[in-house]
Amino acid sequence: MPLDPEKLFALRFPEIRQTFTWRDSIIYALGLGFGLDPMDERQLCFVDETKLKAVPTMANVLAYPGFWMRDLDTGIDWVKVVHGEQAMRLHRPLPPEGEVVGRTRIVDLVDKGEGKGALVYAERVITDAATGETLATLLQTVFCRGDGGFGGKSETPRVPHAIPERAPDLSADVPTHPQIALIYRLSGDLNPLHADPAIASKAGYDRPILHGLATYGVACHGLMAALCNYEPERVQALEGRFSAPVFPGETITIDIWREEPGRAAFRARIAARDAVVFNNGLFEYAA
């Protein structure tokens, strides 16, 4: 059956309340490779509880509504969904521990046509449970390969950020380690595709792949190192498109183009196999 737009726009997501501790913040940072160089003091503030700061992209795993495309009555063929894009805007620095509330809603639908799939845009707003202040606004774009042809609009409201055709102004290499996906999954995404070789093989991979949002976090890691001196309070927004999987143990190269003060285009790639894994990136920060 085709998607029912009215049903999706009216979908009620459960409000998610989550308490997180300094341990959760450290596990998240370790799941992005922070601390691989134990002598780099700029990284240690994300993995040492005595001087702890939260990695900005941790907002993406807080108060997460789970695999809502499967768990709620959406009508989406969840077996055929792909995480297409992710956007994050921080309204204030994340605390390294606390209690938050997440509220999710469908904000847009795009019909690519029969046999071509659909795009579903889900927004999640993270607020501080104690103060009610908004911490972050997240936008997830889901490509539903089996759900096109429901008669909706065909044009996407979001234009991918253009990557300049010139050489990048600078590049940052961020190594990952072979166990990175096994650590990252402790932050909430237990999909066996990232841990079980047999499941990965059925999906067409010769070994488990890294979570897309882990690649997103590693990109932020490289951007903070290159442009923000590892100061998380300077990070304001990050968005882009997932374009290929990363295998744990690979080094991710972040190519960066400065566009104006506090704004840069970027892409992430695996130089060893000439693969772009995250594209059309836009990073905003306090210059």
- The torsion angles phi and psi of 120, rounded to 5 degrees, stand at -120, 125
Let me know if 189 is a catalytic residue.
yes
CATH T-level fold of 170-285? Thiol Ester Dehydrase; Chain A (3.10.129)
CA 272 to chain centre: 23
**Given 189, 211, 221, 255, the catalytic residue:** 189
pTM above 0.85, yes or no: yes
Report the candidate in 194, 225, 187 with the shortest Cα–Cα distance to residue 210: 194
CB 74 within 8 A of CB 146: no
Ranges of CATH 3.10.129.10 domains, the chain: 5-144, 170-285
CA dist., res. 193 & res. 189, Å (int): 10
- The torsion angles phi and psi of 257, rounded to 5 degrees, stand at -120, 115
Report the candidate in 115, 105, 97, 222 with the shortest Cα–Cα distance to residue 171: 222
Tokens of 185: 């999954």
CA dist., res. 23 & res. 37, Å (int): 20
How confident is the prediction along the chain (287 residues), in pLDDT tens digits per residue?
678 899 899 999 999 999 999 999 999 999 999 999 989 999 999 999 999 999 999 999 999 998 888 888 888 888 888 899 999 999 999 999 999 999 999 999 999 988 889 999 999 999 999 999 999 999 999 999 888 888 888 887 788 999 999 999 999 999 999 999 999 999 999 989 999 999 999 989 999 999 999 999 999 999 999 999 999 999 999 999 999 999 999 999 999 999 999 999 999 999 999 999 999 999 999 99
Coil/strand/helix, residue 283: strand
Let me know if 177 is a catalytic residue.
no
5-144: what CATH class? alpha beta
**Given 108, 147, 194, 221, the catalytic residue:** 194
Point out which residues pair with 125 in neighbouring strands. 103, 137
